[in-house]
Amino acid sequence: MIVLILLILSAAVFAGYRVYESVNIDDTVPTLNIPEGELTVSVKDGEEMLLNGVTAQDEKDGDLTDRIMIDSMSELLDGNRREVTYAVSDADNHVVKAARYIQYSDYETPVFSLEQPLQFTVNSKVDVCQYVEVTDCLEGDISNRVKQTYPQMFGEMTGDFPVELQVTNEAGDTVSLPVTVSFYNSGVLTSGRRPQISLKQYIAYVNKGEQFSAASFVEKVTVNGIEYPVSSSLEVKDDAFSTFEAHEISAKRFHIENPVDTEIPGCYEVVYELELPDKETSEIRLIVVVRE
């Protein structure tokens, strides 16, 4: 009798629970409301701007706008666009997702910079990535992601060798940059007989159609330990003679091989050559990227 009574009570409790569950269960899901059309934002805008105008409602829980989260963002699409996916959940963990497109008004591809020429002594182990920095408009410094075609170069002979650098940002934008790495005998790099050309920078970016003066990037020349700054007012023309501030050097001659065409986007290499009487000929390179 006791067992029978317990079974009847258990069945009654179970039936009561099922009735309660069927009455109180929340089978509604939230509604995500996203404004029509694309949202134009700046690369500097944070999540608050990306959530602008997006709201959420739930029949049971009411306004859920403050619970909306950015679930994911696609890689960069054509026209500097990305697809943003939003997600929201109610108190019963019903999750709803929806997406819209955003467009960056000021997006730029990652920018390489180089503070020294890629010139090394023969038999040196060289990791070019150590000398290059990359700044991204979305993430800032992403220099640690730079890869090169040859993980490590071991210059067993003198000469110029092509290397391609590559980096990818969080938006999946992959940028490649071809550079030239030069290997010299140690005596050539350190000899006072070789004039040393210094540039203001070794990678330059120019927008399509802009004027470009290769000569304006020459900063100074060092001969026998003496620095000769190049006058800011000096117009050093391609394949022309030039003079140096406050010093007189006879028969000095700069030759600039400048293939840059700012009407055609791409990567160019400007070669500067300086030849002085009784001196080794000196050569340096400037990488120029012409952007759309």
pLDDT, position 190 = 64
pLDDT, position 274 = 80
- Residue 21: CB atoms within 10 A of its CB come to 9
Query: Tokens 């029509």 identify what position?
Result: 36
For 121, list phi and psi in degrees, rounded to 5: -80, 150
Tell me where in the chain the CATH 2.60.40.10 domain(s) lie.
28-104, 111-291
Triad 65, 70, 76: Cα angle to 5°: 140
Query: Side-chain half-sphere of 268: how many Cα atoms within 13 Å?
Result: 22
In the predicted model, is pLDDT for residue 116 greater than 90?
yes
DSSP 35-65: -SSPEEE-TT--HHHHTTT-EEEETTTEE-G
- Residue 226: CB atoms within 10 A of its CB come to 11
pLDDT band at 143 (very low <50, low <70, confident <90, very high): very high
Least confident of 120-129, 155-164, 205-214, 237-246: 237-246
| Among the four given CATH numbers 2.60.40.10, 1.10.10.1110, 3.30.70.270, 3.30.565.10, the one describing domain 111-291 | 2.60.40.10
Contact 214, 270 (CB under 8 A): yes
Question: pTM here?
Answer: 0.79
- Mapping DSSP to helix (H, G, I), strand (E, B) and coil, where does residue 77 land? strand
pLDDT, position 216 = 85
Structural domain 28-104, CATH architecture: Sandwich (2.60)
210-249 confidence digits (pLDDT tens): 999 988 898 888 777 777 766 544 444 443 334 444 444 3
Helices (runs of H) and strands (runs of E) counted in the chain:
3, 24
The DSSP symbol for 190 reads H
pLDDT, position 13 = 63
Contact 58, 66 (CB under 8 A): no
Q: Which residues pair with 86 in a beta bridge?
A: 70, 98
pLDDT, position 16 = 61
6-54 confidence digits (pLDDT tens): 677 776 666 665 655 555 555 688 999 999 999 999 999 999 999 999 9
